[in-house]
Structures are given as C-alpha cells and as structure tokens.
Amino acid sequence: MFVVITYDISEDKRRTKIHNILKSYGQWVQYSVFQCDLTKTQYAKLRHRLNKQIDAETDSILFYFLCECCHGKIERIGGEAPRDCSIFFV
C-alpha cells in the first residue's frame, strides 16, 4: 500500500525520533511529509512504533492511503525529486 504520512510534533526531540522512524520506512519528500510503500505488516509495525513516541495531547500524525491508480497521478512542480528510493528497515 502506498501511504503519504504527515506529522505535527510539538517537541524537537520527539520530532527527530518520528523523523528517524519514518526515514527507515520511506522517502522524506518535504519537511513533515514522507511517502512509503508498505505491506500491511510493515504499516502495522510503523504505526505501533509511531504511536509509542507521540504525545496524544499535542502531536498528530496523518496517514493518507493512495490506491494504485491515484499513486500514478502524483504530480510534482518544482523542487528536487527524491534521489534515493531504497528503503532500509530497522
């Protein structure tokens, strides 16, 4: 499944942890935005890891699931396209 993940984390240390977790699952495309191509098992593990890190009162993480058809309709204007598409899991 292709997922776009955005986050708003109130504290720098937690935000860095969230960023590093997401970096191990997908491609960083903008400041608080990642795109990931995940299996259901990988998604469940990622969601669990992220949920353990956030403060539910002040932080939020949004998951946008794109179907195969919609994934092909992603358009980019400006900026540098992601160079490294390899994903490393920790």
The answer to whether position 85 is within a domain reads no
For residues 2-29, give the mean pLDDT.
95
CA dist., res. 15 & res. 49, Å (int) = 13
**According to the model, what pLDDT value does residue 84 have?**
54
Helix, strand, or coil (residue 8): strand
Neighbours of 60 (CB within 10 A): 12
Instruction: Say which CATH number the domain at 14 has.
Output: 3.30.70.240
Query: pLDDT-derived band of residue 82, with 50, 70 and 90 as boundaries?
Result: low
Neighbours of 59 (CB within 10 A): 17
Residue 5 CA to its chain's centroid (Å): 4
The answer to whether position 51 is within a domain reads yes
Query: pLDDT-derived band of residue 37, with 50, 70 and 90 as boundaries?
Result: very high
**According to the model, what pLDDT value does residue 83 have?**
58
The answer to whether position 17 is within a domain reads yes
In total, how many domains does the chain have? Answer: 1
CA angle centred on 50, ends 47 and 52, rounded to 5°: 110
Give yes or no for residue 90 having a pLDDT over 50: no
